[in-house]
Homo-oligomer: A and B are copies of this chain.
Amino acid sequence: MADNTASPLTSPTASPFHRALKSVLSVGRELLAKQKGVPKLVAGSAESLTALCQELLNHRGEASGLALAEEIAAAYSELGEAQKLQFLLSLANDFTVDPQGVVESAARYRDDPSQDNLEQIAHAVEAPRKKLFRRINMAPEGTRTLVALRGDVLALSREYPELKGLDSDLKHLFVYWFNKGFLDLRQIDWSSPANVLERLIEYEAVHEINGWEDLRGRLTDDRRCFAFFHPAMKEDPLVFVEVALTKEIPHSISPLISLERESLPADECTTVVFYSISNCHPGLAGISFGNFLIKNVVKLLAEEIDTLKTFVTLSPIPRFRNWLINTDLSELVTEEMAEKVRAPLGKVVEVEVRDALLRLCAHYLLNVKHGDGLAFDPVSRFHLGNGASLHRLHWGADLSHSGKTQSAGIMVNYLYQIPKIEENHEEYFNNRKINASTSLVRLLS
């Protein structure tokens, strides 16, 4: 039986392959140092990093090329804000396609639509930075660096729209590199390596993990955690989901994440609650894994534990209160009530507004749409797009600061029913139909 209770004698980073790679890199560095004409890196300088990228794009030696790629990856992570922007803009502007070349190759193809001429256009429309990124990707930290780099691009692209082509190229590469066929699903528990676990603490986006004791509570007994990993980022999850096994659909979040809760034997549980899903890398935006992860976990748990029958989320409704405040509610509630439901936080959670708020929330989830005709709320878009249905609203379910300011303290269950998810998904996308339980729909009337 595989022994997973401790690390091997030497840590992964000192494993023989890594040693080989490190040696190849060290040889590469020596060779690089001897080569004439290779620009020298000035730490923190975008310009010098750009020059290095230019060199890598045209470089020939394999070992020295690898050393160059590694140097670039390391240097990028040490740029200051301003230099980082300058470097990204230079990637966007200087490592881009030559419009003249595109036009000319297109003209040749128009005259003679041969395979060769087609490939000429394909080559002309591919920005040189894509080749550069492929080369950077060979370095040990290459993939991670490029994912971080796209994260930076996305954060800046609203302000600097000229970065969009750069984003588009990276996304295109990631679609290939992060093909679902390459991913690894792993259960994470208290016997997982500490360097993986510390990432969970770092990445948890929904309900903060307060240190190692809190983490342990989320990984043992009647709690589960699953994540997708990519082979080039071994100890770094792409997305993870935290799961509670319970005897009934929970009414609020706090008992789920409380350190004091009593643990249930797994085989007495009937319900699986996905109470937190975290995408770990902003740079992977648009490369969706969460959907596939949830489906795999549903199947896995259903097979492992016979008694589990109900699979739900316990989710926030993060844009609800914002919508509440900024919308004309006059057709929905009286003016007086409108004022009450928009009242400052502490005051809201009172019985008199309860019914009105739940009704408004049901309205928000069922009827408020984006321009594309799909659900407005981002969490709702995710789960309904996955083929889940709206199941139940819970009053006063998240009384944390963010729970109150974003979701007015309300939480909602999305229900995953394996036999219906593809049908729901089709109806949602083809007919803009939002599936919901009768009890939730009834709130509207």
Which residues from chain A sit less than 8 Å from chain B, CB to CB?
A: 1-17, 19-21, 23-24, 27, 30-31, 35, 60-64, 97, 99, 102-103, 106-107, 109-110, 113, 115, 118-119, 121-122, 125-126, 134, 137-140, 142-143, 164-165, 168, 173, 175-177, 179-182, 184-197, 211-212, 216, 229, 231-232, 234-235, 291-292, 295-297, 299-300, 302-304, 418-419, 421-423, 425-426, 429
Bound: A376/B24 CA distance, A: 29
A102 lies within 8 A of B115 (CB):
no
A303 lies within 8 A of B19 (CB):
yes
A193 lies within 8 A of B195 (CB):
no
Known: A102-B118, A118-B125, A426-B60. A4 touches B193 (CB 8 A): yes
Bound: A27/B426 CA distance, A: 16
Which chain B residue lies CB-closest to A32? B422
Chain B CB within 10 A, most for which of A4, A102, A423? A4
Known: A62-B295, A164-B115. A1 touches B8 (CB 8 A): yes
CB-CB under 8 A from A121, the residues of chain B are 102, 106, 121, 125
B165 lies within 8 A of A232 (CB):
no
B186 lies within 8 A of A194 (CB):
no
Bound: A191/B193 CA distance, A: 5
A184 lies within 8 A of B299 (CB):
no
Could you tell me the distance in whole angstroms from the C-beta of A339 to the nearest C-beta in chain B?
Answer: 44
Known: A9-B1, A177-B179, A186-B1. A425 touches B61 (CB 8 A): yes
Which chain B residue lies CB-closest to A25? B299
Bound: A35/B296 CA distance, A: 21
Bound: A97/B125 CA distance, A: 15
Q: Sorted from nearest, which 4 A-B pairs have the closest CB atoms? A: A106-B106, A61-B422, A23-B299, A176-B176
CB-CB under 8 A from A216, the residues of chain B are 194
B185 lies within 8 A of A195 (CB):
no
Which chain B residue lies CB-closest to A179? B137
B5 lies within 8 A of A196 (CB):
yes
B23 lies within 8 A of A1 (CB):
no
B20 lies within 8 A of A1 (CB):
no
A4 lies within 8 A of B2 (CB):
yes
CB-CB under 8 A from A164, the residues of chain B are 115
CB-CB under 8 A from A118, the residues of chain B are 97, 102, 125, 165
Which chain B residue lies CB-closest to A176? B176
A231 lies within 8 A of B429 (CB):
no
Give 19 A-B contacts (CB < 8 Å), ordered by A residue.
Answer: A1-B3, A3-B12, A4-B11, A7-B187, A8-B16, A10-B187, A16-B187, A19-B300, A27-B419, A62-B295, A62-B425, A102-B106, A106-B106, A122-B122, A138-B181, A140-B181, A190-B193, A193-B193, A194-B212
A113 lies within 8 A of B102 (CB):
yes
Name the one of B2, B14, B180 contacting A138, with C-beta atoms under 8 angstroms.
B180
Inter-chain pairs besides A115-B164, A118-B165, 18 sampled, C-beta below 8 Å:
A2-B4, A8-B186, A9-B186, A10-B16, A16-B300, A17-B186, A17-B296, A19-B300, A23-B303, A24-B296, A31-B419, A31-B422, A62-B291, A102-B121, A103-B109, A134-B179, A176-B176, A177-B182
B196 lies within 8 A of A6 (CB):
yes
CB-CB under 8 A from A232, the residues of chain B are 181-182
Which chain B residue lies CB-closest to A8? B2
Which chain B residue lies CB-closest to A19? B303
B186 lies within 8 A of A7 (CB):
yes
B194 lies within 8 A of A190 (CB):
yes
A193 lies within 8 A of B300 (CB):
no
Could you tell me the distance in whole angstroms from the C-beta of A173 to the nearest C-beta in chain B?
Answer: 7
Bound: A303/B16 CA distance, A: 10
Known: A7-B191, A194-B194, A426-B60. A99 touches B122 (CB 8 A): no
Bound: A359/B139 CA distance, A: 44
CB-CB under 8 A from A197, the residues of chain B are 194
Could you tell me the distance in whole angstroms from the C-beta of A307 to the nearest C-beta in chain B?
Answer: 15
Which chain B residue lies CB-closest to A423? B31
Could you tell me the distance in whole angstroms from the C-beta of A271 to the nearest C-beta in chain B?
Answer: 19
Known: A177-B176, A191-B193, A194-B197. A62 touches B292 (CB 8 A): yes
